[in-house]
Structure formats: structure tokens, C-alpha cells
Structure 1
């Protein structure tokens, strides 16, 4: 519960006349911006607050949802973003340039304002003139530099070469780092050529077909197996941090800003609690274990299948063998649930062959 953030979103929402006024004019970003605001204003978060605060949350949530429904309608019509708000017209002039080792990086727009950092979209030109899209994370304040620093630290460990497999293809690519004039730390990343799992589920509102969820899960278990072997626990897995690319079935696990490394040795603790996706022990500030990541991944797969992350129910069309495996991910005890990503991946591949036959590439449309 953050009443100050609620007030900020409330003030923006009540003044908004059109969806673009609150979500921005870029149709590819309005869903992400909605999800971020919806988490802040959800009435359940303020059930114990004063009546005036509860009323503010209900009013804000209701109008925010109305604006979102209008946004989806005009997006389907192909007219989203044709009307620009005054704020967006001012943003058109936005072009912040950062130069690192003679390379110019252009920041063109705000994509997302997170709790700890703001994410910008932009580009740079390669030597051959080709335009490469980027994202830039800038800490909201100097006091939140630790999250950017941690993301950089963990990513460096994960990018160390492996003799057997190119795990780097499942991780975001770092291009550089810098500090603003206010001493806020920033990192520059190559934009991922794919969709996050919130976007995927938006495309399949009744749930993603299970034959595709299986390969997505397989990809992320590969990343977790690799990370856990190095002593790293991600600590904040949810659908926004997993990306997939349909054309080659690649997958990425992103945003390691809340990760811990060798927690038994270093004493590092969980940094955030994600209400719908974090394991119970995260809220209790227990020692981080790999099984916490498995719990979050299991909840994410339930969501992707069209299930209920609160009750752990999944659609009846999902094969019972796959349902049993995913429920094993989300058992309450950190010592009783799935914890070995490699072993779980092997079990998943067995189920995949039992249910769907020999491995073959299945086209996935977005």
C-alpha cells in the first residue's frame, strides 16, 4: 500500500479525457502502463485504510479500467494514438542523447515508470547505419542506484562463457552504463525482439495452448538451471520478466535487479515481494532458495495457461500430468516443492513426449 503513489495515479486518471492521456500515444505500450498503474490502485491493497483512501482507490481503479477498455477498443479499430494529448505532443520533442565511447544513444520516450527505475526506449546507429532499438533503465533516485548496480553485477556473472551451451542467448544484452547529472545510475540494453508473457496472454485471453506453454517453460527452466548452478536466485519472476520469440521459440529471463548471489555465503536477502507471484517465504524474509524462483515460475505458467494464480486452478483442457507438475512448483513449503530446474526440465520433456508425441516445431502466432 502506497497512498502517495495512489494519489499521483488518481490525479492523472481523473483528469484524463482519452486513453492516450493516461497510457501514452504508443499502442505497443498502453497495456504495460495499465498493468503498472493497476497494481498501484487495486482496492484490495487499501482494505485497511481510511474510508477516504478506500474510496479514492475504488474511483481510480474504476476509471482506469474504463480507460483501458476504451484503449483496447480503439487499438482493435487501429485508431489508438491518432489523438495525441498535450503531454504526448510535448514528448515528441524529447530526444536525450548519451555518448559512451564515441557511441551515441538516443532516448526517445518513456516506456515504463517502475518503483525503482524508469525505463526509456530509444536507439543507436551501428557502424553500417542499421538502427538498433534499445531500452535504458535509469534509477529514480540516487538512493535506488543499488537496483541498477545489482542488475549489472548479476548480469556480468551470468554472461561468463560456458563451454557446453550458449546461455547468453536467453539473457538481455548489456551495451553500456552511465550516470546522470543527479548521480542516478543507468544501464543501456539491447531491446529484446520478442513479447513478454503479459502480452502473450493478452493475445490468448482464455489461455495459451498447452503445447506452447510447454516449450516456453522449457526455455526458462534452462535459464534457471544455469543461474542456480552459479548460486544466483532471480527473486522476482513474473510474466513481465519473461520474453518469448515465436519464430524460433527462444525465451529470455530479464531484469535481475532483485537477484541474490550465493545467499548462504553473502547473507543477501530477498529484495521485493510480488503479491501474486512470490513464494510465501519471500514475504517472511526467509533465506533465498532456488525453489522460490520455481514457485514464481509455476504461478506464471498457471497465469499463461488461463488459470487462477490465487487458487492454483487450471482449465480442464490442460492435461492432468502437466497440471500436477505445475502444482508441484507452487507447494507452500520451500523444501517440499520443485527446486532443481534441470531435473524438473527433464521431467517436463518426458511429459511433453507422452502428451504431444515426438518433439517437433509447432508454429506459434502472435
Structure 2
């Protein structure tokens, strides 16, 4: 059984069955005290298809089930999620590592656009992702697909019944300096929080390759004051399209490949 290591959980690949056409990843927290974050992911992944536009479901993983796992050796109980496996995808961290001098902005453009679509879908379903980081944004080179994974740090709107704080529940320590001030300050998050982190992902991806108009566009999304930042992903997408058209003309498909692993 293949095992992948996530931020707070290990993921075990489970082959497809007669009732499930795709392989699944069973996500099991290493520390039982993180079960609440696994439960939070399950809440978000149930709310998104229920309250969101079904056309955009490919932008998020599919939750097959959430269940309690009891360790036979220790008796410890942990919440586990079974999520649809994603094959052929690469994280933005992998993309950046493959382009150490920075990614061509024309390639970053479709990733940025689709990331905003995914966030726009989630926000209209009243779910904040809470951790839009390079390891949590996956792209499919050939299909130009984008999937947002790891919803353990999300703020689903239905959580207001049990947690009205609206705060992102935890941070990924190795990315501590990627978060906007409202997260590190334990204040209420908003759509502007996700858009801040999404912008950080894209400026990181392009590095010094970003032209001045995109730098200025990004600067407006990275203001410290939450109420001065864009807070509507769909509107921001329209503004990004205007910048891209001025830079590169009408949109056209641009093939993208990842180098073969050595």
C-alpha cells in the first residue's frame, strides 16, 4: 500500500472497488488530537457539492466517506477521510522546483485563472479554504486542470453553529510567513484571506519573471489591511483577464509539460 505524507496526516492509497471506480486516499492524522481538523475537511467537502455550483466540482477532491478509525494496538481513535485519488497532478511547489528561475507568466496565467475559479466556487458555497499554499494547489499539465486539496484548515459557513469565530483553525508551520495578518493574529478570515494566499502562490511561482503590470496587480491583493484587499474571486478574475489581455492579447491554449523525473 502506497503511503504519502501530508501536513498532519498520512495518506494510504486504496484500490478501486466495484462501488468506487477510482482509487481512494485514506487520510489518517498522525496525532489523534488533529481529528477535529480531519472532521473540518469532511464538513467542507460535503458542503461544497451541496451549496456550490456543480459545474466546478472538479476543482475540489471528492469525499467518499468519513469514519472513525481505532488503532488495534493502542486503542486510539482518529477520524479518517476517504478521498478520491488524483493522478497526473503536480503541486505548485513541484512546478516551482522544476522552474528555479521562475515560471513563464504565460504559463502561470492559466493556473492563476483556474485557481481563482476554484476559490470563487468555494466562496459562493460559503467555504473558505484557509490554507491556499503551494503544496495544496495541484495542477494537471496536459488538461490544464487545477484542484485545491487539504481542506483541513477551512472555514465552512455551516460551522457558525458550533464555531462563530470565523478564524482559520491552524497554520502550516513551514509556511508561517505566507499567511496574511488576520490569520497569524487569530482574527476572522474572509475571502480576502484566500485571495491573499493565492496571490502569494502565483508571485512565488513566477519569481522575477513577472512583468510590471502583474506585479502591480499582485501588490493590490497583498495589502496588510484585510478590508483593502479584493474579496471577490470572480471579480478579481475579470480584472486579471484585463491585465493579461493587455499584456499578451486574446487568450489562447498554451501547452504545458513538466520535466520527467530524474
Q: How does 1:328-347 map to 2 (within 5 A)?
A: 328-347=220-239
Measured in 2, the distance between the counterparts of 1:260 and 1:128 equals: 31
Counterpart of 2:24 in structure 1 is: 134
Shift of 1:161: 6.5
Shift of 1:318: 2.1
- Alignment of 1:221 onto 2:122: no
- Contact 2:16/2:24 (CA < 8 Å) preserved in 1? no
Aligned mate of 1:297, from 194, 198, 203:
198
Shift of 1:172: 0.5
Counterpart of 2:86 in structure 1 is: 192
- TM-score w.r.t. the length of structure 2 is 0.86
- Alignment of 1:178 onto 2:67: yes
Q: How does 1:311-350 map to 2 (within 5 A)?
A: 315=208, 317-350=209-242
Of structures 1 and 2, the larger Rg is shown by: 1
Aligned mate of 1:276, from 169, 177, 183:
177
Q: How does 1:76-225 map to 2 (within 5 A)?
A: 108-112=1-5, 114=7, 116-120=8-12, 122-127=13-18, 132-160=22-50, 166-181=55-70, 182-193=76-87, 194-225=89-120
Structure 1 portions without partners, runs of 5+: 1-107, 307-314
Cα deviation per residue 1:63-115 (whole Å; 9 max; x = unaligned)?
A: xxxxxxxxxxxxxxxxxxxxxxxxxxxxxxxxxxxxxxxxxxxxx1331153x
Shift of 1:264: 7.3
- Contact 1:237/1:277 (CA < 8 Å) preserved in 2? no
- Alignment of 1:359 onto 2:257: no
Counterpart of 1:27 in structure 2 is: none
- TM-score w.r.t. the length of structure 1 is 0.63
Structure with more relative contact order (C-alpha pairs < 8 Å, separation 6 or more):
2
Aligned mate of 2:147, from 230, 252, 255:
252
> Quick one: structure 1 residues 128 and 233, their matched pair in 2 at CA, closer, same or farther if it must change by over 3 Å?
closer
Structure 2 portions without partners, runs of 5+: 71-75
Counterpart of 2:73 in structure 1 is: none
SS at match of 1:127: coil
Counterpart of 1:31 in structure 2 is: none
Cα deviation per residue 1:165-184 (whole Å; 9 max; x = unaligned)?
A: 61111110122233222321
Measured in 1, the distance between the counterparts of 2:91 and 2:141 equals: 11
